[in-house]
């Protein structure tokens, strides 16, 4: 890397016990006409404010130009920021400067600055990071056991909270319940209140149900048992008086409704 101040006469001397010799040469340095003038750093891509949850990855990125190439230093709350293994990484590539936080925590909140400087000057760009603590899902209203009659409408209702806001899936006997012409899964705009509705229930709709709430932090489960409603037995069709010839076969019939009634036959 020859510079103008390197110009001048250079001499080399060689000697041993038999004698000495020398030679000289002159170095002339001609400045190039296309030398790039010094240019103070300038951020052509600025840092942007960011909001995130705990345990998420965040990348701050900016781009700086300048001549000679600027030296870059990162700051967090006006303190020099250094790389930490598996937590904070600083990258630089062709003027693109990156700060990567692999798993954000509340302690990472605050103002971040990227300062670039060279012999021509200094420039900076700043941004703020907000970190909201993540919370695993919890149910604020649980599913409840119900007894219904065949043909009635079944409604299972629950409410959940968490950060980020969880989503909910319903299961019957470990099989996910999906919407159809008879079944609907609904929730409000905030994903807080969830409802499973089944129209005109049949015997196949009885059993164990689960609501599973999930977000990026964890999961929670609420369960309920849906059973047939107990109804008293009613004889809707009474036995009829019949007359038969001895040794003929007879059939006595009646019609009974109710929840699995026990039937006992008596004679006299």
Do domains 39-132 and 135-228 share one topology? The answer is yes
User: What span, in angstroms and rounded, lies between the C-alpha atoms of 217 and 196?
Assistant: 24
pLDDT of residue 206: 96
Comparison of pLDDT for 196 and 83, the residue scoring more = 196
32 has pLDDT over 70? no
Comparison of pLDDT for 122 and 249, the residue scoring more = 122
* CA distances to 7, 30, 80, 93, 160 from 4, in Å: 6, 7, 37, 31, 74
Nearest one of 91, 85, 78 to 124, comparing CA atoms: 78
Comparison of pLDDT for 25 and 189, the residue scoring more = 189
**Mean pLDDT score of the chain:** 90
Coil, strand, or helix at residue 189?
A: coil
264 has pLDDT over 90? no
User: What span, in angstroms and rounded, lies between the C-alpha atoms of 187 and 227?
Assistant: 25
Span 222-242, mean pLDDT? Answer: 85
Q: Decide if 228 contacts 150 (C-beta within 8 A).
A: yes
Give percent of the chain above pLDDT 90.
63
User: What span, in angstroms and rounded, lies between the C-alpha atoms of 226 and 221?
Assistant: 16
User: What span, in angstroms and rounded, lies between the C-alpha atoms of 70 and 88?
Assistant: 22
Give percent of the chain above pLDDT 70.
97
pLDDT of residue 33: 59
Nearest one of 43, 49, 80, 76 to 62, comparing CA atoms: 43
Nearest one of 80, 81, 97, 99 to 89, comparing CA atoms: 99
Cβ partners under 8 Å of residue 155, min gap 6: 195, 196, 197
268 has pLDDT over 80? no
User: What span, in angstroms and rounded, lies between the C-alpha atoms of 156 and 158?
Assistant: 7
- 187 — pLDDT class (breaks 50, 70, 90): very high
pLDDT tens sequence across 143-185: 999 999 999 999 999 999 999 999 999 999 999 999 999 999 9
Strand 88-93, strand 96-101: pairing: antiparallel
> What pTM did the predictor assign?
0.57
262 has pLDDT over 90? no
Nearest one of 25, 2, 3, 1 to 12, comparing CA atoms: 25
261 has pLDDT over 80? no
pLDDT tens sequence across 107-150: 999 999 999 999 999 999 999 999 998 899 999 999 999 999 99
On whether the 39-132 domain is CATH 2.60.40.10, my answer is yes
> Following DSSP, what letter does each residue of 77-97 receive, concatenated?
TTEE---BTTTEEEEEETTEE
pLDDT tens sequence across 49-88: 999 988 899 999 999 999 999 999 999 999 999 887 678 9
CATH for 135-228 (3.20.20.450, 2.60.40.10, 3.90.550.10, 3.50.50.60) = 2.60.40.10
Comparison of pLDDT for 229 and 44, the residue scoring more = 44
34 has pLDDT over 90? no
Nearest one of 87, 99, 102 to 57, comparing CA atoms: 102
Kindly list the domain boundaries of the chain, sorted by start residue: 39-132, 135-228
């Amino acid at each position: 890397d020859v510079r103008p101040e390197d110009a001048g006469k250079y001499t080399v001397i060689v000697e041993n016990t038999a004698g000495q010799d020398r030679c000289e040469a002159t170095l002339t340095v001609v400045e190039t006409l296309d030398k790039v003038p010094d240019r103070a750093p300038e951020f052509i891509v600025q840092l942007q404010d960011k909001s995130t949850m705990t345990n998420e990855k965040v990348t701050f990125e900016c781009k700086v130009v300048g001549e000679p190439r600027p030296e870059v230093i990162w700051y967090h709350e006006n303190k020099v920021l250094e790389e930490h293994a598996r937590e904070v990484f600083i990258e630089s590539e062709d003027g693109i400067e990156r700060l990567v936080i692999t798993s954000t925590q509340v302690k990472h909140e605050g103002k971040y600055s990227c300062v670039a400087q060279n012999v021509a000057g200094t420039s900076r760009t700043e941004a703020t990071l907000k970190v909201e603590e993540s919370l695993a899902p919890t149910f604020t209203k649980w599913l409840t056991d119900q007894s219904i009659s065949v043909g009635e409408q079944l409604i299972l209702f629950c409410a959940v909270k968490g950060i980020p806001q969880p989503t909910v899936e319903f299961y019957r006997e470990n099989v996910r319940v999906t919407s159809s012409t008879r079944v609907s899964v609904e929730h409000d705009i905030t994903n807080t209140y969830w409802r499973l509705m089944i129209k005109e229930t049949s015997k196949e709709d009885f059993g164990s149900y689960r609501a599973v709430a999930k977000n990026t932090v964890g999961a929670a489960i609420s369960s309920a048992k849906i059973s047939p409603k107990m109804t008293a037995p009613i004889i809707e069709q009474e036995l009829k008086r019949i007359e038969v010839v001895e040794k003929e076969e007879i059939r006595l019939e009646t019609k009974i409704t109710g929840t699995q009634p026990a039937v006992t036959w008596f004679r006299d």
